[in-house]
């Protein structure tokens, strides 16, 4: 997809479609007013008649309007102007793109940057790229058709470039999640990482099962035992900072399919379990973006890749596993496998001298019960670090909510009578938090924030601005975290 600037007058531009905006108060953007003048007040009349809405993400289409050389005009709602930020820019552009992508378009021009900041324009470009791509990877007749070219009015080349990088990185994560488990399994997932690492200059290590055994990754290996697909552990590195600069570690859960193991899931619960590697896919998307943006910061991305299957060699309820750190774990539910994988990978992040850690995982249904399907849960051992992650998410328009980690309430729930800890808490209650308390056992005193993306990582039904399937949630947020980490380094 080509992303290009344009400074042509909107009435002179040849394009399959032009996108303009209107806010919740019915105020047309500058370019929309130009179209309104060229069409004899058509847009204003349609707004007055409520045929066109300023509700965020609502799209109205005008076919072959008079006075223009473009074939169509899409008028997208921008929502409340006083609340407009990067998240709204992303959704508005994505909604317009998704609606227009229902038909093949060669060139679509966006005139939405009226008064937008560079960050909002970047988010809008990212949204336009994400909105026109769907989960229909294997449909003969596509539901959505990516544009050949996106034009964006009055934008710097640097902003166009960074917006494109973000869009392609989000779409990488989405595609990895949307691929079937017969195509994305530990070995093939690691091979995908090797491809883009070579292309974009990332350092990479891939540990096979022999290396995992040598490195004492017995928790990860236990989960993998029931599958014929051997596990992998991927370590990506971007050394944009100095040799003595601190290291940000991003850790992703990469269960490429989760049957639940011997604690097997019912069929309906298995339907979306190809997405149980969304944490690892997010890390891969972020690492690609960090490398391509050439951020002057040191970031490592680590992903434990396994299948959790039923087999004669599968790990069992009642097993006791010694994790890489030496801590022993009693297994009381084989469907609480992601935390076992992460336990070994988090320990490796400590060994690689990470100064800050963020892990991402589709970890618990309990988080969805608590927060719904659109909000990620945050849990931490360091409030300032969690605040930094939350602020980046808020600024990017990705919904998060912090859950408590009170030691007196939760620590005892994961204590085992036969091992150091057990892999589930006491019953159903507080399951997202007890899972995080389990992970906390493997990060020591290093500032760490856990992000449970079980809800927002995968849409079962489409949104106005996004097709169903993988969402790429938190790619934009973590790139923002890395950018602010860069700024902190420069200030220091």
Cα separations in angstroms, 312 against 71, 228, 267: 61, 11, 20
Verify whether residue 339 is a known catalytic residue: yes
Neighbours of 82 (CB within 10 A): 8
Contact at 8 Å (CB) between 150 and 1? Answer: yes
Measure the CA–CA gap between 307 and 231, rounded to whole angstroms.
7
| Active-site annotation holder among 98, 229, 339, 476 | 339
Cα separations in angstroms, 248 against 18, 298, 457: 41, 6, 22
Cα separations in angstroms, 295 against 6, 152, 241, 248, 487: 27, 24, 8, 12, 10
Contact at 8 Å (CB) between 133 and 178? Answer: no
| Active-site annotation holder among 142, 183, 265, 483 | 265
What is the token pair recorded at 448? 């760490």
Measure the CA–CA gap between 258 and 333, rounded to whole angstroms.
13
Q: What is the separation of C-alpha 197 from the centre of its chain, rounded to a whole number of angstroms?
A: 19
Verify whether residue 265 is a known catalytic residue: yes
Q: Which residues pair with 19 in a beta bridge?
A: 74, 110
Q: What is the separation of C-alpha 323 from the centre of its chain, rounded to a whole number of angstroms?
A: 28
Q: What is the DSSP letter of 460?
A: S
- Where in the sequence numbering do the catalytic residues fall? 265, 339
């Amino acid at each position: 997809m080509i992303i290009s600037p344009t400074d042509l007058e909107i009435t002179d531009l040849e394009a399959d479609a032009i996108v303009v905006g209107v806010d919740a108060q019915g105020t047309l953007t500058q370019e929309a007013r130009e179209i309104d003048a060229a069409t004899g007040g058509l847009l204003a009349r349609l707004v007055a008649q409520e045929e066109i809405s300023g509700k965020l993400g609502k799209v109205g289409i005008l076919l072959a309007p008079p006075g223009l050389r473009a074939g169509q005009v899409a008028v997208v709602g921008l929502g409340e102007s006083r609340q407009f930020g990067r998240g709204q820019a992303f959704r508005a552009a994505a909604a317009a793109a998704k609606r227009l992508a229902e038909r093949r378009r060669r060139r679509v021009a966006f005139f939405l940057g009226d008064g937008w900041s560079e960050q909002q324009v970047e988010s809008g470009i990212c949204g336009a790229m994400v909105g026109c791509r769907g989960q229909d990877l294997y449909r003969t007749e596509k539901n959505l058709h990516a544009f050949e070219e996106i034009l964006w009015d009055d934008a710097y080349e640097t902003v166009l470039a960074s917006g494109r990088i973000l869009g392609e990185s989000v779409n990488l994560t989405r595609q990895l999640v949307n691929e079937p488990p017969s195509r994305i399994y530990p070995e093939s997932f690691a091979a995908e990482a090797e491809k883009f690492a070579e292309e974009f200059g990332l350092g990479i290590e891939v540990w096979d099962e022999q290396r995992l055994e040598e490195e004492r990754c017995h928790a990860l290996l236990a989960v993998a035992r029931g599958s014929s697909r051997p596990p992998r552990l991927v370590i990506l590195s971007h050394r944009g900072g100095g040799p003595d600069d601190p290291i940000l570690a991003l850790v992703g859960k990469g269960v490429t399919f989760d049957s639940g193991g011997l604690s097997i899931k019912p069929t309906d619960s298995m339907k979306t379990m190809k997405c149980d590697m969304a944490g690892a896919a997010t890390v891969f998307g972020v690492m690609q973006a960090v490398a391509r943006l050439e951020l002057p910061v040191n970031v490592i991305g680590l992903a434990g890749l396994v299948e959790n299957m039923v087999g004669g060699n599968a790990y069992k309820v009642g097993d006791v596993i010694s994790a890489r750190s030496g801590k022993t774990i009693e297994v009381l539910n084989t469907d609480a496998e992601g935390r076992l994988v992460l336990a070994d990978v988090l320990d490796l992040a400590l060994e690689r001298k990470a100064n800050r850690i963020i892990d991402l995982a589709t970890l618990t249904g309990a988080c969805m019960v608590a927060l719904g399907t659109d909000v990620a849960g945050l849990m931490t051992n360091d409030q300032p670090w969690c605040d930094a992650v939350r602020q980046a998410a808020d600024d990017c328009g990705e919904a998060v909510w912090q859950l408590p980690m009170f030691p007196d309430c939760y620590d005892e729930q994961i204590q085992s009578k036969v091992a150091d800890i057990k892999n589930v808490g006491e019953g159903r209650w507080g399951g997202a938090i007890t899972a995080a308390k389990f992970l906390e056992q493997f990060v020591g005193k290093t500032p760490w924030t856990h992000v449970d993306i079980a809800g927002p990582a995968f849409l079962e039904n489409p949104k106005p601005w996004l097709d169903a399937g993988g969402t790429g949630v938190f790619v934009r947020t973590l790139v923002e975290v890395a950018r602010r980490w860069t700024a902190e380094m420069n200030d220091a």
